Each structure stands twice: as structure tokens, then as C-alpha cells.
Structure 1
Amino acid sequence: MSCCAPGAEAALEIGPAGLVSSPREELVLLSRDLGGGLYQADLSVPEIHCASCMATVERTLSTLPGVEYARANLSMKRTIVKWRPIADEAPDLIGALRAAGYASHVFTAETDQRSPEYSRLIKALAVAGFCAMNIMLLSVSVWSGAEGGTRQAFHWISAGLALPAIVYSGRIFFFSAWAALRNGRTNMDVPISIGVLMAFGLSLYDTIQGGPHAYFDAATSLLFFLLIGRTLDHVMREKARSAVAGLASLAPRGAIVVDADGRRYVPIAEIRPGTSILVAAGDRVPVDGIVMAGASELDCSVVTGETTPRPAFAGTLVQAGLLNLTGPLTITAAAEAKDSFLAEMIRMMEAAEGGRARYRRLADRASALYSPVVHAIALLSFLGWLSFTRDWHASVSIAIAVLIITCPCALGLAVPIVQVVAARRLFEKGVMVRDGSALERLAEVDTVLFDKTGTLTLGRPHLVNTASVDPGALALAASMASGSRHPMSVAILAAASQGSVGATPMKNLGEYPGRGLEARTGTTIYRLGRPDWALGRKMPEGADGWFSVSLLVQNGQQLARLVFEDMMRSGARSTIDRLRQQGLGVGILSGDRRSAVADLASNLGIDDFAAEMLPSDKVERIAALTTAHSKVLMVGDGLNDAPALAAAHVSMAPATAADVGRNAADFVFLKESLASVADAYEISRNAGKLIRQNFALAVGYNAIAVPFAVCGYITPLVAAVAMSLSSVLVVANAMRLGSRMPFRRRASGLLSARTLNATR
């Protein structure tokens, strides 16, 4: 697919059928239908590289009729746009960006090639570094007292060395600055370019005039250190990009479709819901679906983080990206590739950096104000010194120093670089972020509320008294359960399969939601389900705790008592302990029976719990805590948890949650272990600390440096070194989040673990 070049007139493209199509038509074809007349388009905008670019792109698109949402992602060089047709026509997104000076095209997986930016930055950095180091060596000789012709020769050699650095390395900034000025706007590269060119021009003038000083070292050193900071920033963003690329690589390019014409291989984009697909052993599942035939084992590590294979048989739900290990499976597609769980994970990973939290909005506003403020300060400094000293040379030197030293690169990097590293750390921990602003909100919570079934427990009951159940009764129960997909029915079938007990599907089988199964054979009525419904009389609630009981009954007579246990999530107790150690209150909100919730709460050491709650009750409890100035993290998974997840200050759901629950949550954790909750909270707190530290570094640097530059105490060379080191320092500080923990925190964690083990 081609894209429109900047300045091109009405560019046309050749569509898949060989017909000429415009970018607007391509936009409609490649946009996702979100329902209700709303569409989402993903645009690749490879030329954005700073907060000012992002703001310009978002502002340009947001002003178009029909556009309801525009969010740029700096790491992915991509922009998400949600739009509605106006008069049955799509907005001209690509044309509007072209007019603003940004080439763009509709993003597809095939166009997502690795950016050549890294190679370009490294080459420019090498040239700038070589020239700067050699010029510095010559400058040392001048500073040491070289006079006359020797000093003049050194200046001319420095000019010759500076020229390739200015022309080759400086183009990274010059092209960007010119594109901005040509379209009537500014960005961070404008004052950088002006400062570099003015320093080089003034130095060249002094060299021609035989002056004692020249600042070729300042111009080249500035480029060198700026390129170091920009390269480090690019490397960190490429790490985030590689995580997304790694997920995308799990999706196959096509699949073997089985239809009336036999088997044929089709591209993944052509698969529609209801399509029958053959997944051979060793292949990955192409789209979300349901197994219709075959038996195998699946590597589910991409979804759950667990390496133990799971069995798959008829009726098993499978997600895109899972690896089929042992046998062929025939599945029926339940969604298109772009709507699969794997695609949702990729979108969440991409959204992690794009959030506009309070710190991010503050940094963006500060960066947007930077250019006019800096130019005004530099101009006032020049005019003030010129009127005071009547020395235009000294006035220009001070203005250059002000331009250079006030560059807000450190401020522009303060928040996004931390968000990139935090998203990467969360991804490594098996946590996906739906919105970058959720990181900031998670660090503010003081209370964590858990749902029970499917959250603190796995929501997958298993039969615990198989040995005490008569094999004939178990076979009968399995025959009835084969007609249901209820979790308890699945558990009965699994127990029967392990005990080599056969199960023949029964006819005249009916399922009564919330009660159980009923089958009729002549005058005989079999029931399998809740004890009171199966026996036809009210039963007192026993002390089964978080165990559940079903009865198999024949004409009112009990044949078997089946006891199920919902397995607790691994790491549940240790997670609760970690959250308490971090000063958080912990509670349970559940719709389950009181005895079941109380038993689990006791097992986990939780005193604050509520049972038999409706979805509205959970929302009311969260609202009451919010009114009392608490900030709640809600962790839940079910359809009935969606209102509570939306009402909480921040929310989290497991990957196995219902679609509505996942969509309502701010975070989705992939692993079965509940440790992801504590990990995410710890990473968000550390990220918040680093952001505040970065702000302090960036603001403090400018507060100290600018007055010295305005007063004439800083030369252009010192300004270049100071400004560049501030950017490098901010990036290096953000990269500390990439380590496991700071040493002191690691040590205290080890001591806490040893103390805990000793007390046990």
C-alpha cells in the first residue's frame, strides 16, 4: 500500500481489485466498525518525534468535522482516530495531516516495518561525536594560550570539522524545524536549530575576522549530546515497540479453512465468524473460536502466563495466539482477526503510553509554551545586553546561550519515557494497560476490593469426592453434564474422563439456569443440580464453606452427592500480605453465599468482606468509600462486576474475564497468579516517583541555569553541555524502572520475606 507524499496533489491508489481508490475510500475499507455509526482508523505518522508534534497532529485531526477522538502514540509513530461519516463521506484525515506537514497512511500490519530511525540516529551521532571530540582537542590548545597564526589555524580546522557535523548530524533537527516553520508552527527543534546555526555562524564570522574566540565546540557538542538523548529515547521506545511486535508475530498470516469445496488456505483478514478452520499440531490458533472436533493440548502462556499445557476438546473456547501442541483441531471462528483477544492485547499495549494523565498533560502544556517563551527570553536578553553594552557580539553570544540552555527536551521526556518503561515492565509481569493515565491513578489507591469467583478463585470448580461416588451414578451424571457448558458440568466430565467412565449424551435434556439439569426417560425423571431444586424441597444451608454441592436425584431419591471446590488463585495469600505491607486496605465484594465468602476470607486473613451482593450493591459500596475520600482499586472478572469496575478509581481484571469485564477494566493481567495485582501497584508507585523526580530535575535545571545564562555567566559551550546532560539524566533516571527494584527496596523486601517466613 502506498502513502501520499507531502505536497502531492489528489493522490490516488490502486485498490486490491485493480481499481483506482482514494485515501478516503481506503480509510473506510481499513477502519474498524465500533458500532453506532462510529469507526476507528489507525494512521501511521512516521514523522512525529516530540510532544509538540503529537499536540499538532491531535489538534489538526480533532478540528475535522466528524472526528470525535484523536490520540497520537509517540513510540508507535501511530495515531488512533475515532470518526463518524458526514454526509456519507469519511473525513480527509490524511489530507489534513499533509497540510499540517506530516505524511501519513492508514496503518496495517504489513506496513509496520521496523523504523530506519535508529540507524540514522547512530550515524548522525557518530559523525557529531567524532567532530566534537576533535574540535574539543583543538580548543584545549587555544585555551592553553595559542596565539596568532596558530590560533587562527586551529579555528579554521575546527570550522572544517564542524561543517560535516552541522550539515549531516544537524539535519535531524533542521528538517523537522523547517517542516514546522513552513506550516506556520514551531516545535522543540526550531530553537535548537537556530541556536546551532547562530553559534556556527558567529564562530565562522569570528574566524574570518581573526577573533580570539570561536564556539564551534559548542555547536558540535550540542548536537552530540542532543543526539545521545534522542537515541536513548528511541531505544526505549523501540523496546516497547518490540513487545507489541512480539505479540503481533504470534498471529499467523493465514489459516486452512474447511468448507464445501474442501480445504484451502486463506489470508487471516478473510476469516469471518462461523468459518470452520483446521489447526494442525504445531500451528497457532489464528482467531478466537470454539473447538468443534478433535482433542489436543494447548500452550496458553500468551494468555495466562502459565507454561503447563491445557487440554482442548469439543466445546473448549480458544483464543488467537495459542499454540496447538499435540493433535489437529477443527474450530469455528467466533470473531474476525482484528477483534480477537490477541488483537485486543496489542491495542492495550499500544494504548499504555498514549494516556494523558495529570503529569503528562502538564508536561505537554509546558512543552507547547516553550518555543514562544524561549524565543522571547533570548530576544529580550539580546536587546537588553545590546542596549546596556552596545556590544552586539557579546549580546548575540548570550542570546545563543539562552536559546541552547533553555531547551525543554528534559521536560518533554520527563513523563513519556517513564510511561514507556513502565508499560514494558508491566508487560514483562503479564499486565496489560488499557490507558496510560491508569498508571497514575493506580499509584493513588488506598483500598483494594476483590471479587471472589473468578478473581480470588479461578472460577473452575473440580470434583473433590470422585472416589466416594458410585461409578454408575458418575456415568449417569456425566451423560447429563455432556449437554451443558456450565463449569460444574465441565468438572463432572473431566472427573469421568480421568476415571475412564463413559458418558452417552441423554435425550430430552433440559437446563434450568441457576438450578441444574433435568432429563426424562419414560416415567423416570433425573435431576442434577442444586440440592433444594433436585429434591424438590428446601434444604438448610450446610457448612460447606466455599465448597459447592450438587445432587443427582432419580424421582426424588438421591443417587449421589457431588462436592466441588473452586480452586484458589495461586499467589492469593501472598498478594494480600504484600498489599497490606504497602499500607492498603483489602476487602471482598461477592455475590456468592455468605458461608462461601466467609470461609475464603478467613483462609486469606481478610476481615472486611460482604456477600450476596448485587451489582448495584457493589457500586454503592464503592461510591460510599469514594465519598469518604478513599480511592478504590476494584479487581473483578464477571459480567456482574462491570459496573463496579467502571465506578472504581482504577480497576483490574484477569484475561479470563468476560468481554464486558475486560473492556471496563483499566488493567488486564494475563497470568493465573494474583501476584500481578501487587506487581502493578508497585510498578505504578515507582513510576510516579520517577516522574516526580524527572520533573524536579527538568524544572530545577531551568530555574538554576536560565538566570545564569541571561546574566552572561554561561558560554554557548557550557550551555550545550548542561542542557544535553539534563536530557540524558532524565532518560537514565527513567531507565531505573527497568531494573527489578532499587537496591534498598530489594534489601527491605528480602528482610520482609525472611521475617515472614520466620514467623510462619
Structure 2
Amino acid sequence: MTCCASIASSLPEPGPRRPGVDEVALASKDLGSGLRQITLSVPDMRCGACMALLESTLGKHPEVHMARANLTAKRVTIHWHAENGSPPDFAALIGTIGYTAVLPMEGRDQSDGEISGLLRALAVAGFCSMNIMVLSVSVWAGADPATRQTLHLMSAALALPAVIYSGATFYRSAWRALVHGRANMDVPVSIGVLLSFGLSVYDTFAEGRQAYFEASTSLIFILLVGRTLDHLMRRRARSAAASLADMMPKGANVIRADGRIEYVPLSDIVSGTRTLIAAGDRIPADGTILSGQSELDRSLLTGESRWEAVGPGGQVRAGDLNVGHPLTVEATAAPGDSTLADLHRMLEAVEDGRSQYQILADRAARLYAPVIHGLSVLTFLSWFAVTQDIHLSLTISISVLIIACPCALGLAVPMVQVVAARRLFTQGVVARDGSALERLAEIDTVVFDKTGTLTQYEPTLLTGNWTGPLEFSLAVSLSRFSSHPMSRAIADYASRREWEALALDDVREIQGNGLEASFRGEVYRLGRAAWAASGDADDRTAAASTIVLTRQGEILASFVFGEKVRAGSAMAVQFLKSRGIAVEMLTGDVPEAALAVAREVGIDSVKAAALPKDKAEAIDALRGLGRKVMMIGDGINDAVALKTAHVSMVPASGSDIGRSAADFILLNGDMDGIKVALTTAGRAAVLIRQNFALAIVYNACSIPLALLGYANPLIAAIAMSTSSILVVANAMRLEIDGTPPGREMRRIKKLAGVG
């Protein structure tokens, strides 16, 4: 399992086509403010040193704002400034350092080609190596000179296919690296294999007592075994994003202007495209239903198994499954800009975050080339000065180069992060950033928002009082300008009653307070009583929230909303307390309503009537005391606090701004994901430390042994491959179910008063 290797270069098929500048421009995503993003697949990327080289090379370009490589997905994401609308030739720039860059869609099928090529090379090397070892037994047993010479010639014939065909994977990669002025781990491997084979051929024709054909073929075989296992394990680790992509259709039935229905690829769907969604089809892009009545299974994104009835005017999202009747849907965004596409990008970007452990591993990978290559040269000179044996000196120096590969160190962090992200996703939690897992494991305080977080996001309008039909119509007309759940509840209530849509002027929404507008020259407000009525409002009732409609501070109407505690909230709070984590509530609601919910879920510390800036300041104050705070909120008014916190979490029902500010998204409609995320983050932190310990102990023990001549190239290859496989296998242990035993679950339920 070597570093920086170009697997694809060993295959007889021609390589993938490099995308042109125009293709890169079309595939780029607009991030706003003149910044664009492109993701390219780099199949030659093998380790942390490759990541560092790609990032540093791209980062030196004046138009590149940021470059971030993803080792597991073998992709690089580039943010660049679109000053003249045309991007730099990124594929050519990457090619100058010996890597191949393709568009992700074109590189999607390369994985199967890589694994089939590896298996063919592995089969040839295994067959040759095993048969040479059988022949070597007779040589080691003391065969006579004539028999020994014959066996050596047979071994040479068997070694040729392995050295030429199976070893081509390493030779081509090494040559590509050297012609671009860099060295990778395939350089010393190639030298070791060819030197070993060449010395064996010399010893054979010189009628020497020993030949080393089994060393060269076994070295190739062991390295190919390690590389194949590494490839398979990485593909398995990143299958969460891949399986999500596989669930999406490859195309859709588009309704043309003349009424024709034509099946087209997803890339042809844009905003405004009308699609026909048959029963059993998934929605290809976010959109609006034009005609048809049906039911949708939205469990892919929400985790809710209950089907939802939809009709004309209803909003649908990419990934929703139509389980009823045909629908005609007009796309409101291209498939690449859909909610599901964003979720897919989150999963692929999970290891882009640089934790402290990852930064340490990257630095070690950068130091590898100058330190280890220099050490290998010193080893050769020292052994040659002492023994005057060039064969032995070369063998030991090559062993040092092979055994000191930092593959295990480079895999220690990203493999755990990717496996953790997949485990979280399968249990309804999306991690937006791999480094957030490390921060989540450090928290000692959790701060909850109330409305939409601990309570259901959709409040119910219990009662309403207004002076006349005009006031009611004013309140409904104002509420239609906001997506706040209370505003939607008023609009839903009004849909079953008579009201008049009024033309309002100068409508604006004040975060954390409400709506303000002008009507017939007077200012009306709909929102928090303390704000809308300038403090002249009555107190709100316990376990309920009230908003009022005012004119110049005079209350004209009031609306009382009831709340329902979100499923799993009480158990989540008690779980946090059982781990010694402090729990607080920070809400914009009045004290009575906040305390009622706090008592129900078991929170003792409550701060009510908090504006958005108050929430951020409260989080800052806790951090100033040395606390590691996790903020769990859902709305626009929580966005600053979510960003301020050490780590943050938001329900999937939260606002777009809230979701973009959070580190974790709870897909299911309950708080059970908190326990899953904390448990997984804790186990991931332990596994990362274990992986670092494995990598450090391996290098601390193996390099001195190689320097002292106790490890030949074959043993070095076995040790190097084993260390990487151990690190990957240790990361895969995270997939083992870590649910607390039944006794602990019963204790948590008892504390929460459930069951």
C-alpha cells in the first residue's frame, strides 16, 4: 500500500479525458460575490503528502481563493475568483505535478476499472510468487549445483511476468513522479524490485548459491494486497455518499412545449423544466406541483416513514418518492442545486475540516520526503563504509525507504471521520464538517433553543381575539410576509375563515420581534407583545406563546399558540446530564412559557426573552468561562449563536440560514440524534487517538529495525501494508453498534420519566 501512486496509469486502457476550461466553467457553482466552486476527481491521490502537494500547488495560483483535497473521495474542491468569467486551466495545472484531474461524473466509473486492474495484477504476482517459493524450498534444502541452477532459471522465467506486468503499476507511477520533479513511494519500491530482480539474474548467470526472485515477486504481491485492501476499505467507507447518489434517478421524463414526453439526463433539467413523475419515481429536482394528487415518501431526507399527501401548489424536494398517482412538477432549481445535492456534498466534504490531529498528520507527511530520503542515503553510505557490500547496503537503504512510509499516519484521521459520518447519516444525523466531530467530543455544556427545537416547529393557534374583521384581515395580511411558524399558523387558521387581503406598505421583518407595516398612513405591528405594544401588553399564559397586533402601540388583536414538546427531548436532556454535561435553555419566549417547557424536559437553567444578539452574547460569556458549548437551535434568530458556539446542531426543519450555520443536522423529527452524535463523536475521538498510537509505535519500532538491517524489502513491505490495514480496520470498528446496554437505557428512561 504505497503513497502517491497512480493506479489508473497501470491499466492498458487509455486514461480519462482532461476537462477543458469551458467545461470547468459550466460545471462550476456560483457562491456569490464573484466566487465560484469546482470539484474535480483526482484518482491518483493516495495519501496526505498528495493532498498537501495538490493544495499547495493550486493555492499558489493568484485566482484561487481556497483548495481543499478529500483523500477518501479522491477529489479536490477549488474556490476561485471569477473576475473575467473564465477559470484557470485547473486540470493542466494539476497535470504539471503528475496528477490527472477529471470531472466527477466522468470519473465515477473509474473505481471498478481500478479494482479489476489491481485484481489482475495481484493474481499474476500471487501465482508467480507462490511457485517461486516452492522452487526455492529445494534450493534452501541444499540442492546440488546443477539442480540449483535449473531452479534459478525456472524462477527467473516465473518472475518475469510479475516484474513486468504486475510491477507496471509502480514503475509508471514512479516515472510520472520523477519526470515532474518529485518523488513518491513508488520510486523506492520500483528501485527495490528492479534491483532485487537484477541482482538475482546476475547471481543466476554467475552460478551463485542464492537468488532473490522470491523477494522481488513477493514484494510486488504484498504491496498489491495492501493496495487492494486499502482501495476496497476506502470505497466501503465512502459508500454513504455513493449510496445516496445511487438512490437518485439518472434522468427524468420532461414535458416539452408541444406536449411530447422525453426522457432526458438530469443535467438537462433546469429551473422551469416541467417533469412527469410516475408512481414509484423519485423527484429529480426541487419543484412545485402543477397538477395531480398523490402521496410522497420523504423518509430519505426527513427520516419520517409516514407518507405525506400533496397536491397542486405543494412543494417537493429532490429525493422524495412518489408512491401514489402521477404528478406534473415544475423544477424550481437544477438537480445540482437541490436539497439532496447539498446533503450529498455535505457527506463528501465531511473530512475536509482540518482538526488538530489532521494538521499534525499533514505536517508529518510533508516532512517525510526530505527526512526519510536523507536517512536512506546515510544508511547506504554507513553500511557500505562498514561492510563494503553494495548489495547489502542497497537492500537495507531500500528497506528504510519502504518501511518509513507515513501511510498509516495519513489515514489515521480521515478514515475515522468518514466512517463516523456514514454511521451518523444512517442514523439520521448529517455531519457538515469532519473537524466538528472532534469539537463535539469536547463539549461540557449544551444550550437549547425552545421553539422549533425542544418543541415542535409548527405551533398550533389555540385562541384569537380581535376587535373586528379589519383587524383580523390586517393580522393575516401581515403574517403572509413571514415564514415564521407562528405566522404560518395564523395563515393556516385564516384559510378556514373569511378575511380580506389588504395592500400593505413598507413591510419589514424585525429579527426576534415580528413584522411591521404601514396601512392607510398608520404603523401596524404583529409580533412579540413587549415590542409591538411598547411594553403595555398583558402577561402571556404558561405553556403558551402569544403575539399581538398593534396600531401605534394600541393592541387590536392577540393570538395564543400552544406548544408540543418534540419527541425525545426529555430523554436527550437526561442523557446529557448522565454524562455530566450542563444543560441550559436560551429562548426568545417569555419566562412563563419557557419555564413550562423546561420543567417538562428537565432543564433547570433558563434564560428567556433573549434577542438574537443576547443569545450570541450568552454563548460568548460561557466560552469566556472556558466552557465548550454546543448550541442547538433552528431559526434565523439562532444563526449568530450557532456560529459563535464551539459546535452547533440544528433540526432539518430549521431555517436555511440555521442549517447553513450548523455543524450537524438532525434529519429525523426528534432529539434522539443528539445521543447518537455524542456517542459516535466520543468513540471517534478514541479511535483517532488509537490510530495515532498505532502509527507512531509502528514508525518508532520499524525504522530502527530497518536501519540495523533486520528488515529486508519484503519484510518492510509487509510491515508497511499491515500498519495501514490496521489503521483502516481500526476505523471500521466504529461501525459496530455502540448503543448502551439495556440496563443503561432503562436508567436513562427512568430519569426522563419515560416508559
Residue 364 of structure 2 corresponds to which residue in structure 1? 366
The whole-number CA distance in structure 2 between the counterparts of 1:386 and 1:198 is 16
Call closer, same or farther: CA 1:681–1:214 in 2, change over 3 Å.
farther
Q: Relative to structure 2, which stretch is displaced further, 240-249 or 723-732?
A: 240-249
Equivalent pair of 2:448/2:632 in contact (CA under 8 Å) = yes
Equivalent pair of 1:232/1:731 in contact (CA under 8 Å) = no
The whole-number CA distance in structure 1 between the counterparts of 2:587 and 2:338 is 29
Residue 164, structure 1, aligned to residue 161, structure 2: yes
**Cα offsets for 1:554-597 (capped at 9, x unmatched):** xxxx9999864333322222222223333322222211222222
Residue 196, structure 1, aligned to residue 193, structure 2: yes
Residue 113, structure 1, aligned to residue 105, structure 2: no
Q: 1:43 aligns to what SS in structure 2?
A: strand
Report the residue type matching 1:50 in the other structure.
C
Report the residue type matching 1:415 in the other structure.
V
Equivalent pair of 1:398/1:715 in contact (CA under 8 Å) = yes
Residue 354 of structure 2 corresponds to which residue in structure 1? 356
Of 739, 743, 746, which residue of structure 2 is paired with 1:751? 743
- Give matches, 1:43-192, under 5 Å: 43-85=40-82, 89-107=86-104, 109=105, 112-115=108-111, 116-146=113-143, 148-192=145-189
Shift of 1:384: 0.8
Residue 522 of structure 2 corresponds to which residue in structure 1? none
Equivalent pair of 1:198/1:400 in contact (CA under 8 Å) = no
Shift of 1:341: 0.7
Q: Relative to structure 2, which stretch is displaced further, 667-676 or 558-567?
A: 558-567
The whole-number CA distance in structure 2 between the counterparts of 1:542 and 1:401 is 77
Report the residue type matching 1:354 in the other structure.
D
Residue 605 of structure 2 corresponds to which residue in structure 1? 608
Call closer, same or farther: CA 1:314–1:134 in 2, change over 3 Å.
same
The whole-number CA distance in structure 2 between the counterparts of 1:729 and 1:423 is 20
Give aligned-pair identity as a percent: 50
The whole-number CA distance in structure 2 between the counterparts of 1:249 and 1:540 is 56
Residue 219 of structure 2 corresponds to which residue in structure 1? 222
Equivalent pair of 1:195/1:403 in contact (CA under 8 Å) = no
Residue 232 of structure 1 corresponds to which residue in structure 2? 229
Equivalent pair of 1:587/1:606 in contact (CA under 8 Å) = yes
**Cα offsets for 1:67-110 (capped at 9, x unmatched):** 11112223333221111245554212122122222232334x46
Residue 453 of structure 2 corresponds to which residue in structure 1? 455
The whole-number CA distance in structure 1 between the counterparts of 2:246 and 2:109 is 12
Q: How many residues align?
A: 717
Q: 2:430 aligns to what SS in structure 1?
A: strand
Call closer, same or farther: CA 1:600–1:210 in 2, change over 3 Å.
farther
Equivalent pair of 2:188/2:398 in contact (CA under 8 Å) = no
Residue 627 of structure 1 corresponds to which residue in structure 2? 624
The whole-number CA distance in structure 2 between the counterparts of 1:70 and 1:134 is 48
Equivalent pair of 1:483/1:505 in contact (CA under 8 Å) = no
**Cα offsets for 1:143-194 (capped at 9, x unmatched):** 4444534444444433333332222222222221111111001122222222
The whole-number CA distance in structure 1 between the counterparts of 2:453 and 2:390 is 71
Residue 412, structure 1, aligned to residue 404, structure 2: no
Q: 2:446 aligns to what SS in structure 1?
A: strand
Report the residue type matching 1:402 in the other structure.
V
Q: 1:125 aligns to what SS in structure 2?
A: helix
Of 316, 322, 328, which residue of structure 2 is paired with 1:324? 322
TM-score, reference length from structure 1: 0.84
Q: 1:459 aligns to what SS in structure 2?
A: coil
Call closer, same or farther: CA 1:538–1:352 in 2, change over 3 Å.
same
Report the residue type matching 1:353 in the other structure.
E
Residue 696 of structure 2 corresponds to which residue in structure 1? 699
Residue 427 of structure 1 corresponds to which residue in structure 2? 425
**What are the ranges of 5 or more consecutive residues in structure 2 without an aligned counterpart?**
1-7, 10-15, 520-524
Residue 730 of structure 2 corresponds to which residue in structure 1? 733
Equivalent pair of 1:236/1:420 in contact (CA under 8 Å) = no
The whole-number CA distance in structure 1 between the counterparts of 2:409 and 2:493 is 60
Equivalent pair of 2:445/2:581 in contact (CA under 8 Å) = yes
Q: Relative to structure 2, which stretch is displaced further, 502-511 or 455-464?
A: 502-511
The whole-number CA distance in structure 1 between the counterparts of 2:439 and 2:211 is 51
- Give matches, 1:367-446, under 5 Å: 367-446=365-444
The whole-number CA distance in structure 2 between the counterparts of 1:225 and 1:512 is 68
Q: 2:232 aligns to what SS in structure 1?
A: helix
Residue 208 of structure 2 corresponds to which residue in structure 1? 211
Residue 583 of structure 1 corresponds to which residue in structure 2? 580
Residue 336 of structure 1 corresponds to which residue in structure 2? 334
TM-score, reference length from structure 2: 0.84
The whole-number CA distance in structure 1 between the counterparts of 2:720 and 2:534 is 80
Residue 18 of structure 1 corresponds to which residue in structure 2? none
The whole-number CA distance in structure 1 between the counterparts of 2:95 and 2:397 is 34
Equivalent pair of 1:321/1:342 in contact (CA under 8 Å) = yes
Report the residue type matching 1:544 in the other structure.
A
- Give matches, 1:579-728, under 5 Å: 579-728=576-725
Shift of 1:278: 5.1
Of 35, 40, 57, which residue of structure 2 is paired with 1:38? 35
Equivalent pair of 1:618/1:644 in contact (CA under 8 Å) = yes
Shift of 1:700: 1.0
